[in-house]
Structure 1
Amino acid sequence: MRNHLPQAPQGTQLAEGIHADEFTGADVPDVLSETFGYKLKRKLLGPPLVNEQMSEQRLSKPLALGVLSSDGISSAAYGTEEMLIELVPIVGVAAFTLILPVTLVILAGVALVVLSYREVVSVYTRAGGSYVVARENFGPRVAQVAAVALLIDYTVTVAVQVAAGSAAIVSAFPQLANTPVIGPYILIVISVIAVAIMCYGNLRGIREAGRAFALPTYLFSVSVGLTIIIGLIREVTVGLPHVTVQAGAYQLGHSTAGLFSFAMIYMLARSFANGGSSLTGIEAVSNAVSALRPPEGRNARQILVTQGSIVAFLIGGISWLSHVTHAIPYEAGYPTVLAQEANTVFGSSAHFMYFVVQAATALILFTGGNTSFSGFPFLASFVAGDSFLPRWLTKRGHRLALSNGIIVLTVVSLILLVA
């Protein structure tokens, strides 16, 4: 005799993409057997979710700030250093004075980007960000340019951030390079493991990913913010010494060209372009507005302002400490400008905080790549919904995450890293 199961509400999505409106109670077979692959999926990712639980998977503002802002906030770790790399070899010590006006221009750019995207998320509360704005105001051809640029940016961001985080770990523990067999490939091994962890965390669902990846954002913001505040207090009270320059640092230039000569303007423009890396990632919020809890538009605006304020404070503070301590970049990439500033601020009697700052920096460089795992699938899904990408990018997976987009991003970024 056939067992009759209670009918699910019409339109409810069941496991493996089955919809309740496809069956009546009389049509449901006695036993819905689970394949080995499905059992493995349940074991790895947890029990499946249905569409009615989508609201439970939306990100709250604290979680959204952590998971969507890690890329933008992590850029502050190397923004000042990138500017100094261009300034120091040409103008020498004057670089530590010029760094301040260049930083002010960068901060103006941060403010402009934040204010612009506040208007975007006020009107466009769905996924897509710049793609939606371009499509509705300039047509589909311009929109494709925006979409391609953002999708490539997300992919490269994963590779760059993870590679930087891997290099930071090996720099702190150089003995890893002597590990048998994998020693010569240790950077690739660490990078692949990091990307795999990001992929797994996001496949489990956006709420779980937010919990896992929000901590480094807050740890980095608090630890570097504390470094800046203590550094400012010490500068006002007892003063901060200059850092000790060791072998391997960029050589100080001695340019005598006028400030408004062509060569000097070109150098300042290149310094600004290098520092512009600090603006990356701010747009991620606008591309994942639909992942926020309602009211999405208001929450997105508040997150953008909070993120922009944190980024501006960190960039400004790191540049000021560099101006005071004369922290200089090294050709090998380490010790970093931020590491030198932390060592100078906390001194030998408080090296615990120095290691906290270093650990937080390495963590956020890894998790900064996770912003792409939030933005890329949503943007790809939106573009696919307009039939410019395969439709399977619009489907949600076992845990209601946009699994196909996550897997595509994982594969392409791993190819970039390995190649």
Structure 2
Amino acid sequence: MSHDSTKRGMNKIISPRTPAEGEHAVEEATPERIPDLEPFAVDPLFLGRLHAGKVSQGWAAAIVGVVAALTVIWAAGASGLFLQAKTADPFWVDVWNFVIRAESDNPYNGMPYLRDYPSIVLTFTIVASVLLVYALYQGASRLHSDMEASGCIKYNEAGRRALTGAVNAVNQRLQRWGKLSPIALILALGFTTLTNLGLQSELFSFLVPGLYENWWASLSPLRAGGILWVVFGAIGIYMVYIEAVVGLTYVAFLKRLKNDYQFRANMVNPDGFFGWLRLRQLITNMQAGALCTMLSAWALSFFLEPAMGTIATAAILAIFIGIVLYVFSAVNGNFRRQVRRDKQAQTESVAEDIAALSTRSDTEGLLALLVSYQKLEHISKIPATPIRQRWLVAAALSILGPLSAIVIQVVKYFTSS
């Protein structure tokens, strides 16, 4: 028997879409498809418009990246504060002075954009966050359809009704949040404006006092860069808001329906990742988002601490980081538990089949026994998480750098005289 014919036979025999006892076949008994989430409903201002225009992720990256680069160059260049003047300190020494908040012997007569390292980091992370959230929303809007098509969602008739009702309720909730999006954006604009103005006497004061007047993004004196800084900052805060709304809503959704439906692995591996390709993309984007969060927190601390004080800054950054990491760990942990339970259930089911078939000596029984052992081999290859372990380790290591920088700053906050 050829490998292809064997695999075709196995697809028929071990397809995870075959309902277990008490379940109903999706195609026959439940023709109505499970609705997908509508995450774009929470943001009708930006991402919702891109989605409605069917803008691909590639085009979105090109548009957002080019617009951000051109506006920064124009806004900073309009005041002659884009390029960094030649300095006595090497570039890496200059950067390190920011990281450890150290005084420098190199005089700082101005603060052009290319020397404002925290703003450079924020420019990158804000652009990246727009694209990551857009990709997350696109993936989430197709997650249930793709997972169902891959045979990776398991539920009975009662679970189908509960899941359908819960998804519809979540979508209605997201639509209500979407009506508040203009207010959230206005509040974000107000917050960034007040933060900018609050820096007038304290901007990068660990380097030298009085840098604000020669800062590329000042609002007093008014510069185009200052308006852009406020707008970019507001967009960044707004992205955190809409991502938090969808993330926390989805975590609550998963917890509420943990007994009504389960994600499962397709042991036949139709997409090269056990039917989890869409889920894997979502988790990967969330990992990248966690790294952007840590980098953003490090950069934000340079502006929040002098404008708002140490205690308020620590509280804001703790909430900011905590929400992102909570959503990531909760979603990943939920999927991990579901897969572990389903993997154990599949193993026990196959073990029962093997025990029942071990007494048979006819050809059909021996072939079924062989297939059962092949099932066990396939099940053993199912990973415990939608993301490979080495990627989880890499993600954890990647946040150590910005986390260490934040810790250094916190220590300096509380030990400085």
Q: TM-score, normalised by structure 1?
A: 0.27
Task: Work out which of the two has the higher radius of gyration on C-alpha atoms and give 1 or 2.
Answer: 2
Higher relative contact order (CA 8 A, sep 6+): 1
Q: Which of the two has greater helix per residue?
A: 1
Q: TM-score, normalised by structure 2?
A: 0.27
